[in-house]
Amino acid sequence: MRILHVIPSIDRGYGGPVEGLRQLCGIYRMGGHEVEVASLNSPEYARRCEFPAAVTGLGKDPVRYGFSSQTVPWLKENLSRFDVVVINCIWQYNTVAAYRALAGTGIPYAVFPHGMLDPYFKRNFPLKHVKKTIYWHTILERILRNATAVFFTCEEEMILARQSFSPYRVHEMLMPYGTFGPDCDLTAAGEEFLCRWPHLRGKRLALFLGRIHPKKGTDVLIRAFHGVLAKDPAWHLVIAGPDPDGWQSELEALVVKLGIADRITWAGMLSGSLKWGGFASAEVFVLPSHQENFGVAVAEALACGLPVIVSNKVNIWREVARSSAGFVDEDTVAGTEASLRRWSELSSEELADFKIRGRKCFDEQFNYRANAKRVLENVEYVARQRRQSKTAPASGQAVAGD
């Protein structure tokens, strides 16, 4: 099977959709399938960016909406080489371009919204939602309605997606999501991490890893850390991730105002063994997001046996709670403080039990080595369909609004 993924950007700073696609490429290889990627990055960026699949850059950097006159012609010229197309994200030009190029070809396609239909955006950005509503009625509703499947990473995302726009009629399909886990020796990776930041050695580390963005609740975490853990000199907060919007300087001013500048390390974006070393060196991972479609970093933490503290706006919070792999509370300072306080009061035996349950949660819920078969079955199902057909949805698939 030959698969084409169309995505706005392959820059890791773009977040979860990119990391998810990197992991999917590994699954496709396991299944003996070929995969290529078309992005709205510049051709130069696509050539120099390390990615586990061939990438064609059709636009220019930085990618915003991403309009490029080259996109539709390239897709029309190359689509015949593929059995199925997967469109990642919905609000950039790649979605419209792919749909226009697919018209009349009969090639089946799926859409991966990656949480972009969450009603969080409707509630918190009403002016943007007005523009998105116009876009929805103009073309996007038709793109999703005509897709062979719309992939959702978890049940919570699928339920929430039904609340943002109307009419809403899509062929829903749950797509297992997660990671393969660490690809290096965690002990060695942890040592590498601590050699890079030697002042962290011997500290109890709370780790945040993700984009430094208001949606992620980074300011909430800083205030909660100040209110609870900073009272104990053994604790230190590590904030790791890209700063695409320049918000870090404002947060740095906040920590100075709170008097905890020496208790926080800004590690920047971590990748490879340094990223895994961060997980290996921490005692707990904290993500108090106001909206999180899945949270690949949560799955990565659990893969390292690292328990997690998440808000109930991280869509996999139910899996975390059911597995007792961490604590869940509101996406507020008070909610995050409550979770941090509970964590700080655990005994060493309880801490060890949480680590065991964290790894078990990953193995049962988010381990791509276990879920690869179902991922491949879903994509293969889409590839077997022709968009003109009336084939019934696959097992576990429903049509919202029917």
Q: What is the pLDDT of residues 82-102, one digit of tens each?
A: 999 999 999 999 999 999 999
Task: Say yes or no: 251 and 346 in one domain.
Answer: yes
Task: Say yes or no: 167 and 217 in one domain.
Answer: no
Task: Say yes or no: 358 and 336 in one domain.
Answer: yes
Task: Say yes or no: 341 and 380 in one domain.
Answer: no
Q: What is the CATH number of the domain that holds 205?
A: 3.40.50.2000
- For range 178-184, the mean pLDDT: 92
Q: Which amino acid is at 80?
A: S
- For range 169-197, the mean pLDDT: 96
Task: Say yes or no: 166 and 192 in one domain.
Answer: no
pLDDT of 225 reads 98
What is the side-by-side order of every strand in the sheet holding 54-57? 54-57, 34-39, 2-7, 84-88, 109-112, 149-152, 171-174, 398-399
Does the pLDDT at position 26 exceed 80?
yes
Q: How far apart are CA 53 and CA 37, in angstroms?
A: 7
Task: Say yes or no: 244 and 286 in one domain.
Answer: yes
Q: How confident is residue 386, by pLDDT bands cut at 50, 70 and 90? A: confident
pLDDT of 16 reads 84
pLDDT of 264 reads 98
- For range 280-293, the mean pLDDT: 97
pLDDT of 401 reads 45
Q: How far apart are CA 215 and CA 226, in angstroms?
A: 20
Task: Say yes or no: 43 and 109 in one domain.
Answer: yes
* Helices and strands (H and E) in the chain: how many: 17, 14
Structure-model confidence comparison of residues 14 and 339, the more confident one: 339
Q: What residue numbers bound the domain in which 380 lies?
A: 2-179+369-399
CB 181 within 8 A of CB 300: yes
Task: Say yes or no: 309 and 378 in one domain.
Answer: no
Burial of 400 (0-12, 13-18, 19+ CB in 10 A): middle
Six-digit token pair at 212? 């430094």
Work out the number of other CB atoms within 10 angstroms of the CB of residue 54: 11
Total structural domains in the chain? 2
Task: Say yes or no: 309 and 207 in one domain.
Answer: yes
- For range 141-162, the mean pLDDT: 95
